[in-house]
Chain A
């Protein structure tokens, strides 16, 4: 069930993703999770299908697809496996940052393999002492002839250790946001070491690790955009899209939980009838479905606002300076907040509907519940989302 009408092309494209998701990805998700194994070959299949290519402009060899379509794809993938959906979202985020802010020379040299999905991208902003306060990051980059020497620790890097190309934020100047620059660092960079993956509550199939940079000599032509001091602006611009991606993944996860709960409640009989017929269970399912659909609609509305702004700017890569730019940032924060809270509550209720078996690893809903929690934390905690929204309201009221 969905309220948003799809074009016939969107329906055809999404049918392919759904088929891939349900026949090739969902069946292996539990095993990948149990083995803490990143399914790189699934990512290769996504690349073959054109999913890494889809959202990028034709100038860099991309598919010129809409943000809306990309989000529908992410939702469908996350419905099959959050590790896979989020993996693609993170790859899009890193690729978008490079594609959008690279110099023409960097774009020609470093973008095509990311768009084709031959290389896996990752994004390194946070640090052990700089999470929500990202501008406090301490990793240093100092110019040394033709290189920048990077020293410091980046934290919570999705795809840490399995990615081929990282966008790394490091400080080239003074304290604060303006002293930060972005670098494009490949996995084989001398002086870069990846720590063992974090032992997380869930999402083990999507490795999260620290990067240790020890006087790593990064060629100066890998300073993203060719100018110092732009890193924080790049990070913030990338977040709008990243938050929408996470929102879409959260909708997919909530939908997966709803699918499981609905099927179970229709099948499971107690007191001589399916438990779905009992109002206590039926109302739970009704709330789950309503919440999931509301989150989906808000996310798609934000995507369409962004698509419209991009079209207005003849497909300008950022919406900076567009009259709707603030509305887009706010809508992205609202979508991330709403969808991830919806996923948290819906996955928890799905465990409740399944009862005892829902708490076992024989059914996927306990995994969904563990996975949902991290969505309220990453890409800006939900408290940070509220902060963004509140600041917008306060500014607009003045």
Chain B
């Protein structure tokens, strides 16, 4: 069984994000970049498939050369090989452009299952996994909170507000996972030390047969017009306890009004 885990390099969620005023994209130089935290869940699921089914797992990243540490980081969890798609023309791609690149990379790769994270911590569109499935004409299994592979079939629990649906599809398929699916482990020392010697292949758009005008800022079907900093947090409501017990009633009213209870 062959599994591909596409991962993303995102600005550190703990840091302040800076938007470049000219390109209207995130200024990656302004802060630390990390392996997107949602990928810890997709990687963990792939590692479990490896343990259970002996799956061979390739990590896939679309990004500039600086994204290489992200691939190494992903490999440190015990994955087998890395594939990086690097091309200047990709810069500024929207979700669809990114999906085109990933789909083309997957078409050139043998796989049974693609395991995406659910929603990257920077763009938060959740569009790429479904777009990739659509472009490849494969089953799309989103919001996966549980998955099981049995031969040529995958069964997932697809999460929604009232619970989950049990969905079955044939392989190959594309899934995206939610954080409830597992508890990611730490990369082991062995994994971190071995990550350096794992095979890492780099491909360009030309290698994939993708034309530069299908991707990048120019081909984006979504256009960013302006941006504004998040408004400062408003002062909260302070309820003072004067000892009369009125504060408790006030607090209860407030919770009811805000629909917390």
Contact with A along B177-213 (1 / 0, CB 8 A): 0000000011111111100100000000000000000
CB distance from B158 to the nearest CB of A (A): 30
Q: With an 8 A cutoff between CB atoms, is A96 at the interface?
A: no
Instruction: Note all chain A residues with C-beta closer than 8 A to B192.
Output: 9, 12-13, 16
Q: With an 8 A cutoff between CB atoms, is A19 at the interface?
A: yes
B187 touches A53 (CB 8 A): no
B189 touches A50 (CB 8 A): yes
Most chain-B Cβ atoms within 10 A of its Cβ — which of A12, A20, A48? Answer: A12
Q: With an 8 A cutoff between CB atoms, is A51 at the interface?
A: yes
How far apart sit A13 and B196, CA to CA, in the bound complex (Å)? 13
- Number of chain B interface residues as a range: 10 to 19
Instruction: Note all chain B residues with C-beta closer than 8 A to A93.
Output: none
A16 touches B190 (CB 8 A): no
Contact with A along B158-188 (1 / 0, CB 8 A): 0000000000000000000000000001111
Instruction: Note all chain A residues with C-beta closer than 8 A to B193.
Output: 9, 13, 63
Q: With an 8 A cutoff between CB atoms, is A65 at the interface?
A: yes
Instruction: Note all chain A residues with C-beta closer than 8 A to B188.
Output: 48-50
Number of interface residues of A (CB under 8 A): 14
Q: Which residue from A12, A19, A50 sits with its C-beta under 8 Å from B190?
A: A50
CB-based nearest A residue for B188: A50
A63 touches B186 (CB 8 A): no
CB-based nearest B residue for A49: B188
Q: With an 8 A cutoff between CB atoms, is A54 at the interface?
A: yes
How far apart sit A48 and B193, CA to CA, in the bound complex (Å)? 14
CB distance from A22 to the nearest CB of B (A): 12
Instruction: Note all chain B residues with C-beta closer than 8 A to A51.
Output: 189
B186 touches A53 (CB 8 A): no
How far apart sit A37 and B186, CA to CA, in the bound complex (Å)? 24
A16 touches B187 (CB 8 A): yes
Instruction: Note all chain B residues with C-beta closer than 8 A to A16.
Output: 186-187, 189, 192
Contact with B along A1-36 (1 / 0, CB 8 A): 000000001001100100110000000000000000
B189 touches A53 (CB 8 A): yes
How far apart sit A86 and B239, CA to CA, in the bound complex (Å)? 48
CB-based nearest B residue for A23: B186
CB distance from A26 to the nearest CB of B (A): 15
How far apart sit A13 and B193, CA to CA, in the bound complex (Å)? 9
CB distance from B35 to the nearest CB of A (A): 12
A192-220 contacts to B (CB < 8 Å): none
CB distance from A340 to the nearest CB of B (A): 27
A60-87 contacts to B (CB < 8 Å): 63, 65
How far apart sit A19 and B14, CA to CA, in the bound complex (Å)? 15
A19 touches B189 (CB 8 A): no
A63 touches B185 (CB 8 A): no
Instruction: Note all chain B residues with C-beta closer than 8 A to A9.
Output: 192-193, 196
CB-based nearest B residue for A16: B186
CB-based nearest A residue for B72: A12
How far apart sit A50 and B196, CA to CA, in the bound complex (Å)? 17
How far apart sit A65 and B194, CA to CA, in the bound complex (Å)? 13
CB-based nearest B residue for A51: B189
Instruction: Note all chain B residues with C-beta closer than 8 A to A19.
Output: 186
How far apart sit A16 and B192, CA to CA, in the bound complex (Å)? 10
How far apart sit A50 and B186, CA to CA, in the bound complex (Å)? 10
Contact with B along A207-238 (1 / 0, CB 8 A): 00000000000000000000000000000000
**Selected A-B contacts with CB under 8 Å, 14 pairs:** A12-B192, A13-B189, A13-B192, A16-B192, A19-B186, A48-B185, A48-B186, A48-B188, A49-B188, A50-B188, A50-B189, A50-B190, A53-B189, A63-B189
4 A-B pairs closest in CB distance:
A50-B189, A50-B188, A50-B190, A16-B186
